[in-house]
Amino acid sequence: MTAYLRFELRRLIRDPRVIVFTVVLPVLIYFISTGSAGAADRIGSVQVAAYLMVSMAAYGALVGVMSVGIGVANERATGWLRQLRISPVTPGQVVAVKALLASIMAIPSVAAVGVIAATRNGVELSAPQWVALVGLLWLGSLPFAALGLALGFSMPPNLIQPASMLGVFGLAFLGGLFVPVEAMPAALAKIATWLPSNRYAELGWSVAGDKAPPLGGVAILVGWAVVFGGLAALMYRRSAAQK
Amino acid sequence: MTDAVRLTSVAKNYGAVRAVDGVDLSIARGQTVALLGPNGAGKSTTISMILGLLTPSAGTVEVFGTSPADAVRAGRVGAMLQESGFPASATVRELVQLARALYRDPLPLDEIMATADVASIADRRSDKLSGGQSQRLRFAFALAGNPELLILDEPTAALDVESRQQFWAAMRRYAATGRTVLFATHYLEEADDFADRVIVIARGRVVADGSGAEIKKLAGGRTVSFDRAGQDADAFTALPGVVSAQARGERVLLRCDDSDVTVRALFEGGHRVANLEVTGAGLEEAFLTLTAKTELEPAR
């Protein structure tokens, strides 16, 4: 299994274009959206520049994490997953490696937006806060890794791209990553608080506000991880049953 | 010693279609066996079940006395499938190295590269390979783990004549080390040349099982038919050149390995042979005739 993980990691590093794409858009939007924010402006108790840093880092993380589904759909089509199924690597190991790779794809965007926020926008977090931010946004990306895998195991290659884009944008928008929940109409704001994307970013917003993430939010995120994980397992079994 | 492969009353349905219809077969260790049959006969489905990629609708499949999944997980099986492929961003060498790392007791890298003839394309990316080169990579991946059972589904489908010969030479060397090899093909020549034993599958059933020479005799012959006119088909089985005789409707059908001799004997023996017809049979037809015995009404 470690050999397979190493193999996949090497492929990931070999093609950094995917990583670049997850980083460019969030950094750009962060540049534009924080242009007019003053140092004293706040959303809730968090400085605007820090709040939007988390929003954009989370958005980029979603793009990166869900991109694993695109790879899976293509590998299904080319027969690579089939080849692995007739090797000693178990399906569970393949899925675990894919989920791990997916979650790693959350980190570049968090790092890039974080660096911009710290150097250009004067966002000041303590070292433990930075560590907590990266760590939580990495761990918290697991439900999206599962969702990306579920899509990858169920969609043909020509549909996976639009499907995951719709998933990412839908979750990011409705979860309050583009428009803060505080600025949403009441009905939408209510929906937002039940979405994994909102609860995921909440991990980061809490760290930026120097608070512990609320347990209710963590529970919702874990719930989604279970739902998407189950969905991914179901879709995997369905795709494996078709020859 | 347990058999390498054992199928007991195995059936597989796709919806209403019965792809495999009650197959019983066992393959002893060390045998090189060809699964011969026309397209759509159920060869690939049978192989998929032996590899644990498909679950039988009925019956049991055992590989080295365990479930196919366990045998694959233990690294005892290597396979080369038609629909398998490789990720685009990896080179041939990386893929072979990965395959070696996945198995407990792999072959040396150089030996794999030489046997599968991929040394010259080692640094090429897997998406930049020709059909024949991809096929060689599949072979390299299948044999990297030094598996006790090697399964090949139509291994020469994408190869030209020269690579085909090279492939079989490599395969023969591998089989000579005492490994069990099972390969599917729809070429009788290939089955006859490279297998100790040929199992013929048609319409999801085993219709013949024997040495290459025996199968060739059955398949290579012709059918002589004429009006029955009340005669018993069994009366013709003893004629020279006749392999089997049967009555079908108002006709007697004789499967012959030498129809010229048979026809001469028919006339010289004074039999009533109105509307005589001699037809050659394609492989599929030849084997369907074999099965027809059990499926059509028996001679009265």
Summarised one tens digit per residue, pLDDT across range A108-119 is 999 999 999 999
A79/B85 CB distance under 8 A: yes
**CB contact, 8 Å: B51 with chain A?**
yes
Q: Do A79 and B101 touch (CB under 8 A)?
A: no
Could you give the CA distance from residue A138 to residue A101 in angstroms, rounded to a whole number?
11
Give the burial string for B142-181 (b: 16+ CB within 10 Å, else e): bbbbbbbbbbbbbbbebbeeebbeebbebbeebbeeebbb
CB contact set of B242 (below 8 Å; sequence gap of 6+)? B236, B254, B255, B256, B262
Identify the closest residue of chain A to B94 by CA–CA distance.
Answer: A7
| Residue B239 forms contact with A (CB below 8 Å) | no
Chain B nearest-CA residue for A241? B54
* For testing contact with chain B, the best of A87, A98, A101 (most B CBs within 10 A): A87
Domain range enclosing A169? 2-238
Statement: residue A27 has pLDDT above 70? yes
Partners of residue A80 in chain B, C-beta under 8 Å? 84-87
Distance of alpha carbon B282 from alpha carbon B144, whole angstroms: 37
Phi and psi, residue A128, nearest 5° = -60, -35
Task: Work out the percent of chain B whose per-residue pLDDT is above 70.
Answer: 92
B16 min Cα distance to partner chain A (Å):
15
pTM reported for the whole predicted model: 0.81
**Chain B residues in contact with A10 (beta carbon < 8 A):** 94
What pLDDT is stored for residue A227 in this prediction? 96
Instruction: Classify residue A156: in a domain, yes or no.
Output: yes
Can you tell me the distance from the alpha carbon of B44 to that of B32, in angstroms, rounded to the nearest whole number?
Answer: 17
Strand partners of residue B208: B200
Q: Does B39 touch chain A (CB under 8 A)?
A: no
A75 vs B87: CB contact, 8 Å cut-off?
A: yes
What is the predicted ipTM? 0.82
Beta strands at B251-256 and B17-27: parallel, antiparallel or unpaired: unpaired
Residue A75 lies in a domain: yes
Whether chain A has a CB inside 8 Å of the CB on B54: the answer is yes
List the single residue in B84, B102, B103 with the smallest CB-CB distance to A4: B102
* B78, B85, B89 member nearest A14 (Cβ): B89
Structure tokens at B48: 């998929």
**Average pLDDT for B63-76:** 95
Using the Cβ of B75 and the Cβ atoms of chain A, whether some distance falls under 8 Å is answered with yes
Nearest CA to B179 among B152, B155, B148?
Answer: B148
Q: How far from A131 is each of A48, A90, B181, CA to CA, in Å?
A: 20, 33, 55
Nearest to B81 among A3, A15, A86 (CB): A86
Residue B168 Cα, gap to closest chain A Cα (Å): 22
**Rg of the Cα atoms in chain B:** 22
Is some CB atom of chain B closer than 8 A to the CB atom of A3? yes
Q: How many domains does chain A have?
A: 1
Residue B76 has pLDDT above 90, yes or no: yes
Per-residue confidence band for B234, with pLDDT thresholds at 50, 70 and 90: confident
Establish if B79 touches chain A: CB-CB under 8 angstroms.
yes
For B29, B39, B98, the CA distances from B201, given in Å and listed in that order, are 21, 10, 35
Q: Provide φ and ψ at B277, rounded to 5°.
A: -140, 135
pLDDT in tens, A145-163: 999 999 999 999 999 999 9
Where do we find the tokens 């397979």?
Answer: A4
For a pLDDT cut of 70, what percent of chain A falls above it?
A: 97
Strand-pairing partners, residue B33, are B182, B197
For the record, the structure tokens of B67 come out as 């479930």
Pairing of strands B5-14, B17-27: antiparallel
Q: What is the mean pLDDT of residues B56-71?
A: 95
Lowest mean pLDDT segment, chosen from A120-129, A163-172, B115-124, B208-217: B208-217
Q: Provide the token pair at B219.
A: 């398949």
CB-CB neighbors (< 8 A) of A89 in chain B = 102
pLDDT number for residue A69: 92
Q: Say if residue B122's pLDDT is above 60.
A: yes
Note the Cα B157 to chain centre separation in Å.
13
Say what the pLDDT of residue A185 is. Answer: 92
Instruction: Please indicate whether, in this complex, the C-beta atoms of A3 and B101 are within 8 angstroms of each other.
Output: yes
At residue B39 the predicted structure's pLDDT band, cuts being 50, 70 and 90, is confident
Q: What percent of chain B has pLDDT over 90?
A: 46
Report whether pLDDT(A95) > 60: yes
Residues 183-222 (A) with a CB less than 8 A from some CB of B: none
Model pLDDT for residues B236-256, shown as the tens digit of each residue: 888 888 888 888 888 988 888
Has residue A243 been placed in a domain?
no
Interchain pair A15, B89: CB under 8 A? yes
- The whole-angstrom separation of Cα B104 and Cα B82 is 25
In a domain, A94, yes or no: yes
Q: Which two tokens stand for residue A67?
A: 């991109």
- Cα–Cα dist A146/B99, whole Å: 27
Q: Cβ separation of A243 and B54 shorter than 8 Å?
A: yes
- AA letter at A227: V
DSSP string, A136-179: HHHHTTHHHHHHHHHHHHHS-HHHHHHHHHHHHHHHHHHTTSSS
Q: Is A243 on the interface with B (CB under 8 A)?
A: yes
Cβ of B94 under 8 Å from any chain A Cβ?
A: yes
pLDDT value of residue B287 = 64
Of residues B77 and A121, which shows the higher confidence score? B77
The residues, any chain, with a CB within 8 Å of residue A32's CB and separated by 6 or more, are none
Average pLDDT over residues B69-74: 94
| Statement: residue B200 has pLDDT above 50 | yes
Is the CB of B99 less than 8 angstroms away from the CB of A87?
Answer: yes
In this complex, do B89 and A83 lie within 8 Å of one another by their Cβ atoms? no
d(CA A84, CA B141): 10
CB-CB contact of A86 with B79 (8 Å): yes
Contacts of B84 in chain A (CB under 8 A): 79-80, 82-83, 86
Placement of tokens 């260790």 in the chain: B29
In a domain, A34, yes or no: yes
| Banded pLDDT at A38 (limits 50, 70, 90) | low
CA distance A70 to chain B (A): 13
- What is the average per-residue pLDDT within B35-53? 91
Tokens linked to A111: 């790092």
Tokens found for residue A17: 């274009």
Whether residue B98 lies within 8 A of chain A, CB to CB, comes out as yes
Q: What is the DSSP string of chain A?
A: -HHHHHHHHHHHHH-THHHHHHHHHHHHHHHHHTTT--TT-EETTEEHHHHHHHHHHHHHHHHHHHHHHHHHHHHHHHTHHHHHHTSSS-HHHHHHHHHHHHHHTTHHHHHHHHHHHHHTS-----HHHHHHHHHHHHHTTHHHHHHHHHHHHHS-HHHHHHHHHHHHHHHHHHTTSSS-GGGS-HHHHHHHTTSHHHHHHHHHHHHHTT-PPPHHHHHHHHHHHHHHHHHHHHHHHHHHH--
